[in-house]
Amino acid sequence: MSNQTAVTEFLLLGYSDIWELQILYFIVFLVLYLISLLGNLLIITAIALNCHLHNPMYFLLINLAILDFGYISVTIPKSMANSLMNTRLISYSGCVAQVFFYIFFASANFALLTIMAYDRYVAICQPLHYEMVMNRRACVQMAASAWISGIICSALHTGNTFAISFCGGNMVDQFFCEIPQILHLACSDSDLGEVVVISLCMFLSLICFAFIVVSYVQIFKTVLRIPSEEGRHKAFSTCLPHLIVVSLFLFTGTFAFLKPTSNSTSDLNSLVAVLYSILPPMMNPIIYSMRNKEIKGALSKLIGWRLFSKNKMSIFLH
């Protein structure tokens, strides 16, 4: 207790001391952030403006795009601002907010991916009951449950993380407030409350993972029984983007969770953090726009309409 300190701010050590490298980090993060921002906004706009895409699958996809946008916006803008201003500081309240919203968007994202797996299961395995099961009210309730579950999990994690006393200083070896790095600063090696919260969230995550696996086992069994090759291809084409997104989210998250933080270098920690905090929200719009014909068609119409509008306006001005 004699070494306990009142922490008012944290130092994020995920960057190099060299100013030129900090500018390079800023440029790389800016490019990745703009790709993610533009991709998710295009997905949202294309679905919102195309009446043919106003169905449960694309309603859930809009929610996923919003969550992805929030997920990457929690960490990257602050990191870019720090690198540009040659500082490493983040306030205590800013760190609390960053942890809360990061866990919130990550948890809600995984819950929504589970719901999207159920949507594909009903569409392919029980097509005659699809409109009844996945009606407007059910879709809104499912999406709301994903957001609410994210809030609950995030509140529990954040409350337990910052209820601890800090004796290890205020230096976080990461470019954002990552919970494992913050827990290294705790006065004790383990906290019972945090262990309980992590165990609970891991248990819920395993349930979601098992649900996704069971759903896709049933989907593949049903698809393989479809007599026509065209029907099988169409069914697989609607499932493949979601399956790739789920795999990307799970693999990057699992890799980060299994990596021993205490024995890892700062560069490796930062690289792993980029994999699970930036790669999924950046790649999700690309995966859906490349593997989904309806999304590609909607994006083509949207971009073509904007180009036509610009050409029409230029002709009118001349």
pLDDT attached to residue 274: 80
pLDDT > 70 in the chain, percent: 83
Under 8 Å between Cβ of 74 and 101: yes
For the entire predicted model, the pTM comes to 0.85
Kindly state the helix (H) or strand (E) to which residue 136 belongs, with its residue range. helix 136-161
Dist. CA 246–CA 200, nearest whole Å = 21
Burial class (CB in 10 A: 0-12, 13-18, 19+), 124: buried
| Predicted confidence (pLDDT) per residue in 152-172, tens digit | 989 988 888 888 777 767 888
Alpha carbon of 197 to those of 147, 156, 157: distances in Å?
18, 7, 6
The arithmetic mean of pLDDT across residues 246-260, rounded, is 72
Number of separate helices (H) and strands (E) present in the chain: 12, 3
Dist. CA 118–CA 245, nearest whole Å = 15
| pLDDT at residue 1 is higher than 70 | no
pLDDT attached to residue 315: 42
pLDDT attached to residue 185: 81
| Predicted confidence (pLDDT) per residue in 19-43, tens digit | 778 888 889 899 999 999 998 998 8
Closest CA to 143 of 120, 113, 121, 122: 113
Which bin fits 297, alpha (ψ -120 to 50), beta or left (φ > 0)?
alpha
Domain boundaries, the chain: 9-317
Question: Which CATH entry fits the domain spanning 9-317: 3.40.50.2020, 1.10.3720.10, 3.40.640.10, 1.20.1070.10?
Answer: 1.20.1070.10
| pLDDT at residue 63 is higher than 80 | yes
| pLDDT at residue 194 is higher than 90 | no
Please list, in sequence order, all residues whose beta carbon lies within 8 angstroms of the beta carbon of residue 240, skipping any fewer than 6 positions away: 291
Compute the mean pLDDT over every residue in the chain, rounded to the nearest whole number. Answer: 81
The radius of gyration computed from the CA coordinates of the chain, to the nearest angstrom, equals 22
Alpha carbon of 173 to those of 23, 49, 199, 262, 290: distances in Å?
19, 44, 24, 10, 36
| pLDDT at residue 314 is higher than 60 | no
Closest CA to 158 of 173, 172, 139, 177: 177
Please list, in sequence order, all residues whose beta carbon lies within 8 angstroms of the beta carbon of residue 121, skipping any fewer than 6 positions away: 215, 216, 218, 219
| pLDDT at residue 83 is higher than 70 | yes
| pLDDT at residue 207 is higher than 60 | yes
One-letter identity of residue 12:
L
pLDDT attached to residue 2: 47
Q: Which residues pair with 171 in a beta bridge?
A: 11
pLDDT attached to residue 257: 63
Which bin fits 27, alpha (ψ -120 to 50), beta or left (φ > 0)?
alpha
Label residue 51 by pLDDT band (50, 70, 90).
confident
Under 8 Å between Cβ of 175 and 79: yes
Per residue in 244-278, is it b (16+ CB within 10 Å) or e — as a string?
bbbebbbebbeebeeeebeeeeeeebbebbbbbbb
| Predicted confidence (pLDDT) per residue in 110-140, tens digit | 999 999 999 999 998 998 899 999 999 999 9
| pLDDT at residue 263 is higher than 70 | no
